[in-house]
Amino acid sequence: MRLRIFNTLGMRKEDFVPLRDGEVRIYACGPTVYDFIHIGNARAFVFMDIVHRYLEYKGFRVIFVSNITDVDDKIIRRSQETGLSIQQIGEIYSEAYFNDIEALNIMKPDVCPRATQHISEMIEVIQKLIEKGFAYQVDGDVYFDVSKFEDYGKLSGNKMEALEMGARIEVNPKKRNPADFALWKSRKEGEPAWYSPWGWGRPGWHIECSTMAMRYLGETFDIHMGGKDLIFPHHENEIAQAESLTGKPFARYWLHNEWLTVNGQKMSKSLGNFITVQDALKMCSPQVLRFFLISAHYRSPLDFNKESLEQAKASLEKILNAIERLLSLEERTKKGENEDALLSQVYEAKKRFEEAMDDDFNTPLAIAAIFDIVKAINIYSSKERQIESTTKKEVYGVVRTLLEDVLGIKIETKGKEKPRSELVDSLMNIILEFRQEMRRRKEWKISDEIRDKLRKIGVIIEDTPHGTRWQLKEV
């Protein structure tokens, strides 16, 4: 089935057709590294990862670029507050960002360009915009003239509304139109600066993203993503800059995720409900947090509260318990009578999962399809204790692919955790020593019986010239 995506540009669901056959090029707005990422950022990054993973699952080669904004007003402010340089601030928080996304099992982008490493390219783009008449210089600042770009407002909606919003943000006598935005900002006391044709200064945030996106993905690419808060002015301005420069469409599909609220309120530092990923991971595991973040459709609001987190935890446990039940079924060589029913239920659920994901990445419906598999496994294991090994592998294979590869939820069953415990290690040593003693006494029957009983609970032992080793059965 063809993937359908809700495109903010045009505000409707469209069939997804990539520019190049079999390849999808994506730009996702990354973090501004001035603080730890919060759970609202995490919702956006996890959603982007879902898009990345599902497109790969559908067989596309994905080129995923996500930037690091390491020069910006917020970083400069943080640097002035702390006395650390903007480089130090950038390093501290980009490292924290990479740690957080790794904890959430978000795949690392193919390219993570840093704004400060692309300043000369940004200067070039700005210069061309001036030459083409889309930008003008005033006292060392360069502004984009929105009145020159006819399509201004096409992403966020009404052009006039956008212009008025611009006017409300700041009144600057240097600007020709209130909604004109800075491409280059002249140096102010204590700010980092680069040399340019307009004197010392630094790029504006919007030009950073347009430049890096085109640098790595070309003038026109497939998908541009970010949180809903980035539609205006950030993405509107990215379009204006890039399309004025090239005369070609910039990104073809624009995807934006909804807010995450905390106890029904918008997250903000002043309300004291600003929860970083690290704070959230004190309340639950990374797997539960990720599962919670995809439990609502990305275009629906999602509220972070104790109950919803508990609910996510309980749901994920149900799934993992069913997988564990499947893995602990004893293997047999012949297929039993209930196995065909199990397999057909699993494949029907897989189809429903794909239909849900094809319909604009509907993760709650995809999770419901996984619950259909859970139900099928639970019904089967209530009737049977055995399963043919190939059936077990097949069912496990489907559930592992959907849950781990597509939704990015690692399967950590209790069974896998056993060998990590010191107690299990010690118990296994006692059992193996006892079995070794039986072998010395040529009590083969007892020794084999121990081996077989261990196998039944998933522990494989192997007699080697250097002694007996044990490991958990791989499915």
State which residue, 122 or 289, has the beta carbon closest to Zn ion.
122
- Least distance between Zn ion and beta carbon 243 (Å): 15
DSSP-assigned letter for residue 456: H
- Least distance between Zn ion and beta carbon 414 (Å): 42
Exposed, middle or buried, 441 (CB in 10 Å: 0-12/13-18/19+)?
exposed
State which residue, 29 or 407, has the beta carbon closest to Zn ion.
29
Q: Is 44 in the site for Zn ion (CB under 5 A)?
A: no
CA atoms within 13 A on the CB side of 61: 5
- Least distance between Zn ion and beta carbon 67 (Å): 6
State which residue, 79 or 241, has the beta carbon closest to Zn ion.
241
Beta carbons of 7 and 256 less than 8 angstroms apart: no
Which residue shows structure tokens 């497939």? 222
Among 28, 44, 209, 217, binds Zn ion (CB under 5 A): 209
Q: Is 48 in the site for Zn ion (CB under 5 A)?
A: no
The Cα–Cα gap between 353 and 358 comes to 9
Of 451, 468, 328, the closest CA to residue 387 belongs to 328
State which residue, 40 or 286, has the beta carbon closest to Zn ion.
40
CA distances to 162, 246, 340 from 151, in Å: 12, 14, 57
Which stretch of DSSP H or E encloses residue 407? none
CA distances to 72, 327, 344, 361, 388 from 336, in Å: 64, 16, 14, 36, 7
Beta carbons of 298 and 47 less than 8 angstroms apart: yes
State which residue, 259 or 347, has the beta carbon closest to Zn ion.
259
Residue-wise DSSP of 345-369:
HHHHHHHHHHHHHHBT--HHHHHHH
Specify the stretch interacting with Zn ion by CB under 5 A; choose among 27-35, 159-167, 252-260, 357-365: 27-35
State which residue, 152 or 291, has the beta carbon closest to Zn ion.
152
State which residue, 73 or 359, has the beta carbon closest to Zn ion.
73
Specify the stretch interacting with Zn ion by CB under 5 A; choose among 204-212, 214-222, 273-281, 305-313: 204-212
Among 3, 5, 26, 29, binds Zn ion (CB under 5 A): 29
State which residue, 209 or 289, has the beta carbon closest to Zn ion.
209
Specify the stretch interacting with Zn ion by CB under 5 A; choose among 189-197, 201-209, 372-380, 403-411: 201-209
Specify the stretch interacting with Zn ion by CB under 5 A; choose among 107-115, 202-210, 310-318, 425-433: 202-210
Number of residues that bind Zn ion (CB under 5 A): 2
Helix residue spans in 104-154 (DSSP H): 119-131
- Least distance between Zn ion and beta carbon 25 (Å): 15
Specify the stretch interacting with Zn ion by CB under 5 A; choose among 203-211, 324-332, 368-376, 388-396: 203-211
The helix/strand count (H/E) of the chain reads as 16, 18
State the SS3 of 23-60: EEEEEECCCECCCCCEHHHHHHHHHHHHHHHHHHHCCC
- Least distance between Zn ion and beta carbon 42 (Å): 17
Specify the stretch interacting with Zn ion by CB under 5 A; choose among 25-33, 281-289, 367-375, 404-412: 25-33
User: What is the contact surface with Zn ion in residues (CB under 5 A)?
Assistant: 29, 209
